[in-house]
Amino acid sequence: MKYKLVYTKQAVEDAKKLKTSPLAKKAVSLLQQLSENPFASPPVFETLVGDLSGAYSRRLNQQHRIVYQVYKKQKVVKILRLWTHYE
């Protein structure tokens, strides 16, 4: 069963930046993978700590990442960021 992807307001804003970047194709591929299995590797995912404790990230490149939370019981992946979480 697939996971439903939901996006925060910030992720929607990030998507606008992402559309015009060369990373768009990779992001679409990673989002598709997240909807199928948010814990599948490769690419490896990182468990975040601090303010983003409980969230995971996957790199689009050295600077930009997809940051998300997984709600297993509801089969939902909440996309928090699609650009960078350092801003």
CATH number at residue 24: 3.30.2310.20
What is the pLDDT, as a whole number, of residue 86?
Answer: 57
Is 86 a domain residue? Answer: no
Quick one: 70 exposed, middle or buried, by C-beta within 10 A (0-12, 13-18, 19+)? middle
- Say how many domains are in the chain: 1
User: For residues 77-87, b (16+ Cβ closer than 10 Å) or e, as one string?
Assistant: bbbbbbbebee
pLDDT in tens, 36-77: 999 998 889 999 999 899 999 999 998 899 999 999 999 999
Instruction: Find the domain containing 16 and state its range.
Output: 4-81
63 within domain boundaries:
yes
pTM, rounded to two decimals = 0.91
Q: Give the integer Cα–Cα distance in Å for 49 and 67.
A: 12
Digit-coded pLDDT (tens) for 4-32: 999 999 999 999 999 999 999 999 999 99
Distance CA 74, CA 65 (A): 24
